[in-house]
Chain A
Amino acid sequence: MALLQLEQVVSNYGSINALRDISFEVNEGEIVTLIGANGAGKTTTMHTIAGLKELNGGKILLNGQDISRWETQARVKNGIVLSPEGRQVFPDFSVLDNLMMGGYLQTNETNQQTLETVYELFPRLKERAAQAAGTLSGGEQQMLAVGRALMGKPRLLMLDEPSMGLAPLIVKEIFALIQRIRDLGTTVLLVEQNARVALRISDRAYVLETGRIVLSGTAAELLVSEDVQKAYLGM
């Protein structure tokens, strides 16, 4: 059984259909990527899974259980954690406080343990623990956003555009870390405009176009697919 399954999910903004009949699945231990142009519905998909955006049709299943009507906090508690587009760290809080907010639903002991794992993955965050998050560089804020999400002990870690606005070298670093996070046992659902980098670390991928899935396959297949190359890899 898939860890996460979307069945014919529909999501609207007023009279505009953002998602029309989206179905896909994410299996335990995979890195799955959604690629697509601006406005294709990637972020809406993430928000719908996280429960920030209500569902207007279809179902979302977590381990076979229908979670379509659950509040966001219930989804977080059950391991669906989103690191949102644009990082959205709490600028007035210190790095450490931001991380601790990520573990809001966890016990203190769990948080101490997870914190060590996060510091091991992102030593930079440990160095800057006392600094206000708003004063970090873009790359550091992205690391904080991912670290904060990890504090929620996700079974499914959702990352929305982790490469946005970052220098290529830092993008590389972040993607290497995403792979490591998966190797430590966390399933990852990734949304990226930077399709090439994302496909290289992914197992499978889906291509979204104006609210529909138009193509799917293993990452290796999509990397060499002519359609994908033309539309998203700029070849």
Chain B
Amino acid sequence: MLLEQILNGLTIGSTYALVAIGFTMVFGVLELINFANGSIYMLGGYITLMLYLGMGGHFLLAFVLSILLTGVVGFAMDRIVLSHLRAKKAPKLTGLIATMGIATVIDNVILLFFGSQTKPYPNMIDFGRFYIGETAVNSSQLVILAVAILLMVLLSLLTYCTKLGKAMRCTAQNADAARLMGINVNLIIALTFFISSMLAAVAGTMVGMYYQSIDINAGFTVGMKTMASAVLGGVGVLPGAMVGGLLVGLFETLGASYISSGYRDAIAFAILILVILFKPAGLFGKKKINKV
């Protein structure tokens, strides 16, 4: 029972981690809280569903196209809205409000196309369940965990071992200095939105399949939880978002099964608050010293 709950928690947590990574990457390069991240996660799930139904059952193709399309939405969100705010040197708060506006637009477009009812979602990764000792394991869980871990490894390689990743980290540390190296900072930022939105689409689709349903409220809840994950791990720090996501998934699942399922979301946030009280920069965050 406990092992099953832990597996459940890690599964949902790994999808939080994917979304949280995107959130933290954007925060890293821009110091911008992207409130649209949850909506983009939901959008990815809906686009996969729409393409899957529209193309007569080519799931994998629908999934890949959806990831790319959602990525393009993120890219466009930066190019069409946020990059202009940066060019005009708008205060950070304006950018944050703009992402809230974008979230509202995305949510309402989804509402317009799909309506407010919960939609059934096909589970294409269910190959039955089996037992390891006494523990029941669902194959969907293994697929989700495997995909999430694979993406985290790929993303770490991208960030720490490629020129693009180094350019992203330079931009995160000091955007003006990055510009002086000849880095096209605006392109790097737009690419960061592209990548973070693709991750959200993967997570949105996998969770849709896992719960076999998707509804219009998914974005907001997951947006809040992944923000909490990123803060828990230390915002702007890649491993922090990974661990933070897994922990939030674990806490809420264990809390729901051993305390009360009604408190599922509250437990996750209560633990977040506790951690932040004792470690304000998050588990992996560094204290920022502002030298004058």
CB-CB < 8 A to B183: which residues of A? 73, 101, 104
CB of A213 closer than 8 Å to a CB of B: no
User: How many A-B pairs fall under 8 Å by CB?
Assistant: 59
Which one of A88, A93, A100, A152 lies within 8 Å of B176 (CB-CB)? A88
How many residues of chain A get a CB closer than 8 Å to chain B's CBs? Answer: 26
With contacts A90-B174, A92-B173 known, is A97 near B166, CB below 8 A?
A: yes
Does A84 lie within 8 Å of B176, measured CB to CB? yes
CB of B177 closer than 8 Å to a CB of A: yes
User: What's the nearest-Cβ distance from chain A to residue B131, in Å?
Assistant: 46
With contacts A97-B166, A101-B166 known, is A84 near B180, CB below 8 A?
A: yes
Contact with A along B160-194 (1 / 0, CB 8 A): 00010011011001101111111110000000000
CB-CB < 8 A to A23: which residues of B? none
CB-CB < 8 A to B177: which residues of A? 84, 88-90
How many residues of chain B get a CB closer than 8 Å to chain A's CBs? Answer: 16
CB-CB < 8 A to A148: which residues of B? 181
Which residue of chain A is the closest to B173 with respect to CB atoms?
A90
The complex places the Cα of A2 from the Cα of B87 at a distance, in Å, of: 32
Does A73 lie within 8 Å of B170, measured CB to CB? no
User: What's the nearest-Cβ distance from chain B to residue A140, in Å?
Assistant: 16
Does A73 lie within 8 Å of B179, measured CB to CB? yes
Which one of A51, A72, A93 lies within 8 Å of B173 (CB-CB)? A93
The complex places the Cα of A73 from the Cα of B178 at a distance, in Å, of: 10
Which residue of chain B is the closest to A91 with respect to CB atoms?
B173
Which one of B178, B180, B182 lies within 8 Å of A77 (CB-CB)? B182
CB of A71 closer than 8 Å to a CB of B: yes
The complex places the Cα of A89 from the Cα of B173 at a distance, in Å, of: 9
CB-CB < 8 A to A188: which residues of B? none
The complex places the Cα of A72 from the Cα of B171 at a distance, in Å, of: 14
Does B181 lie within 8 Å of A88, measured CB to CB? no
A residues 65-83 in Cβ contact with B at 8 Å: 71-73, 76-77, 81-82
The complex places the Cα of A50 from the Cα of B182 at a distance, in Å, of: 10
CB-CB < 8 A to A89: which residues of B? 177
CB-CB < 8 A to B176: which residues of A? 52, 84, 88
With contacts A84-B176, A88-B176 known, is A93 near B169, CB below 8 A?
A: yes
23 contacts between A and B (CB under 8 A): A52-B180, A72-B179, A73-B184, A76-B181, A84-B180, A88-B180, A90-B169, A90-B170, A90-B173, A93-B169, A100-B166, A101-B167, A101-B178, A101-B181, A101-B183, A102-B181, A104-B181, A104-B182, A104-B183, A105-B181, A148-B181, A149-B180, A152-B181
Q: Which residues of A contact B (CB under 8 A)?
A: 50-52, 71-73, 76-77, 81-82, 84, 88-93, 97, 100-102, 104-105, 148-149, 152
Top 6 closest pairs, chain A to chain B, by CB: A76-B182, A105-B182, A88-B177, A73-B182, A104-B181, A72-B179
